[in-house]
Amino acid sequence: MLRHFIPTLFAAHCSTAAQAGDLSTRELVQRLTGEGQFESTAEYFAKGYLDGLIDATEGTYWCIRPNLRTDHEFDIELLHQLKAEPAYASSSAELAVTTGLSRRYPCASTLPHPVTPRQTPSVLRTAMSAPSASNRGHNLRAMSDGYITAVIDIAQLGGDKSTAIANRAALNQQLLKQSPPSRKSAADWILTVLRARPRAQGD
């Protein structure tokens, strides 16, 4: 499973700068803490990205007792830990977050643990279809885009080639056309759709 390989991957990856297209750990933290000059959509993208990372990994790669703390308190603690990492400036966000959480909150067994997702399929679908004419709708769409990006990044970090995708617009259309399930996290729903979709040219 991915959590057994995370420390090795982290050490190798942190020796170089984050690859082009990656959201760096520093940029993620700056967007979420207001330390940098970013548009509101960039901040919402980062919030969605962090939620996606957590939903895609909690209960499998790291575990925490339910209701131990609020999401806000948890995020503040996590961001503080990320800033303290020696490779803070050069690591990719998905690798740094997953590595840090797996070290701090290791799972007691290899069995999946029950979790309460931050995003449900219905909430994500509503955000994806929010009217882009308003600032709120624009920000909600940015947040959903960040969430989906994080889920794909984590799956590919673990070597899941079935989730590789070149046409994100086509994936968004598939998600919007489907009736969202009620008993899955949004992360599980995205992965189910990705793995079941027919392969299109250029995808």
* Helix, strand, coil percent values for the chain (each to nearest 5): 60, 0, 40
User: Is pLDDT above 50 for 31?
Assistant: yes
* Highest-pLDDT range among 9-18, 28-37, 156-165, 180-189: 180-189
The CATH number of the domain covering residues in 2-196: 1.10.890.40
* Highest-pLDDT range among 98-102, 142-146, 190-194: 142-146
| Tokens of residue 51, six digits | 């939620």
User: Is pLDDT above 60 for 199?
Assistant: no
Q: For 64, what's the count of Cα atoms within 13 Å in the CB-facing half-sphere?
A: 19
> What is the predicted pLDDT for the residue at 71?
87
Write down the domain spans for the chain: 2-196
* Highest-pLDDT range among 1-10, 99-108, 134-143: 134-143
